[in-house]
Amino acid sequence: MTQLILYNVFNGLIIGAFYALMALGLSLILNLSGVINFAHGGFLAVGGYLAFTLEPYIGFWGGLLLSPFLTAAIGLIIERLLIRRLYGRDPLYSLLLTFGLAFMFEDGTRFIWGPATLPFTVPDWLSSPLSGQFFFLTGYRLFMVLLVTATVIALFVILSRTRVGMRIRAGTLDLETVSVLGVNVRILRNINFGLGIYLAGLAGVLAAGMLGLQPTIGSDLIMPSFVAIIIGGLGSLPGTLLGGLLIGVASGVTSVFFPSASEAVIYVMMGLVLLVRPRGLLGEEGRF
């Protein structure tokens, strides 16, 4: 039993890392632009589908490299044409817009790639377990965790060491002052949105390697990311990361004792956090 629980904690961390990757993109956009991006799952699906389409030409690795950038490019265009118009208005507007976009993405992918599940394959050497004992640690999942770790480190380095990153962080705290100091907030938001969507696209390619690629893949995966953000605390990226890992582990451990509640447990956790510590685990007090 102890072994089973340990396995599930370990496995939960792997899954949590994936949730965190999605939630970080969502959180970035939410923090700076105040947009609750419901279409994040849609971008994720596009990332997966683009990698699937590119795979015959440039292989898995090419797809993994290129597809998130293409997804981000689509994101930048959508931000420029649609989302930008709604900055400064009540958040409900952008919420409704991205809500509609989520439907359009789902039906759009269904229209272009069809409703059938597509078999996205990962390189053979990645898709087998590394050891008989820890069979759930496949090369692919280890690679995924490493990639997520590297991405998170890169993201935090960008945010804390580069000029644009510092501006994003400053803007998150007080956008008006940043704007008054002469920073082009429009471009800043555009870059930030692109960065968030890049993470969605990357999560999409990674998800397609583990799951069947079908139009609802985005909406199937999006809810835990919202939960991760609320548990971790709005406005805090480390909080989002922690939230993602926590729900992964909680869901895994619950499945040992009460498998049918493994999905519900994350919502129970969210409820508890909201009751006991409404700002979330690492959220700043009074900020939201």
Partner 1 sequence: MTQPKSFPIGRRTVLKAAAAAGVAQVAAPFVISARAAETVKIGLNDPLTGTYALLGKNEQIGCQLAVEQINKKGGILGRKVELLVEDSTSADTGIAVQKAHKLIDRDKVNFLLGNVNSAMAIALGEVSNQAGILHIVTGGHTDSVTGTDCHWNVFRVCNTTRMETNSVSSTLFKKYGKKFYFITPDYAFGHTLQQGFEAALKANNGTETGASLTPLGSTDFSSYLIKAEASKPDVIIFLTAGQDSVNALKQAVQFGLNKKFGIAGAQQELEVLEGLPPEARIGTWVFEWYWRQPNVPHVKEFVAEIRKVNGGKVPTARHWFGYASTWTCALAANHTKSLNALKMAKFLQNFKLPPEVALMPNNPFYREGDNQLMPTLYVGHAQEKGKDDPEDLFVVDKEVKGVDAALPVAETGCKMKWPA
* Touching partner 1, residues 159-178 (CB under 8 A): 174-176
* Span of 102-110, 151-159, 198-206, 237-245 interacting with partner 1 by CB under 8 A: 102-110
Which of 260, 275, 276, 285 is the binder for partner 1 (CB under 8 A)?
A: 260
* Touching partner 1, residues 117-156 (CB under 8 A): 117-121, 127-129, 132, 135-136, 138, 140-141
* Touching partner 1, residues 41-70 (CB under 8 A): none
* Span of 50-58, 62-70, 103-111, 238-246 interacting with partner 1 by CB under 8 A: 103-111
Which of 215, 232, 243, 244 is the binder for partner 1 (CB under 8 A)?
A: 215
Binding of residue 251 to partner 1 (CB under 8 A): yes
DSSP the chain: -HHHHHHHHHHHHHHHHHHHHHHHHHHHHHHHH----TTHHHHHHHHHHHHHHHHHHHHHHHHHHHHHHHHHHHHHHHHHHTGGGGTTS-HHHHHHHHHHHHHHHHHHHHHHH-SSPB-----GGGSSBS-STTTT-BHHHHHHHHHHHHHHHHHHHHHHHSHHHHHHHHHHH-HHHHHHTT--HHHHHHHHHHHHHHHHHHHHHHHHHHS-B-TTHHHHHHHHHHHHHHHH-TT-HHHHHHHHHHHHHHHHHHHHH-GGGTTHHHHHHHHHHHHH-TT-SSPPTTT-
* Span of 5-13, 58-66, 70-78, 147-155 interacting with partner 1 by CB under 8 A: 5-13
Binding of residue 12 to partner 1 (CB under 8 A): yes
Which of 23, 38, 72, 75 is the binder for partner 1 (CB under 8 A)?
A: 38
- Least gap, CB of 20 to partner 1 (angstroms): 14
Residue with Cβ nearer partner 1 (117 or 153): 117
Binding of residue 230 to partner 1 (CB under 8 A): yes
Which of 59, 62, 114, 123 is the binder for partner 1 (CB under 8 A)?
A: 114
Binding of residue 219 to partner 1 (CB under 8 A): yes
Which of 44, 205, 221, 282 is the binder for partner 1 (CB under 8 A)?
A: 221
Helix (H), strand (E), coil (C) string for 21-55: HHHHHHHHHHHHHCCCCCCHHHHHHHHHHHHHHHH
Binding of residue 210 to partner 1 (CB under 8 A): yes
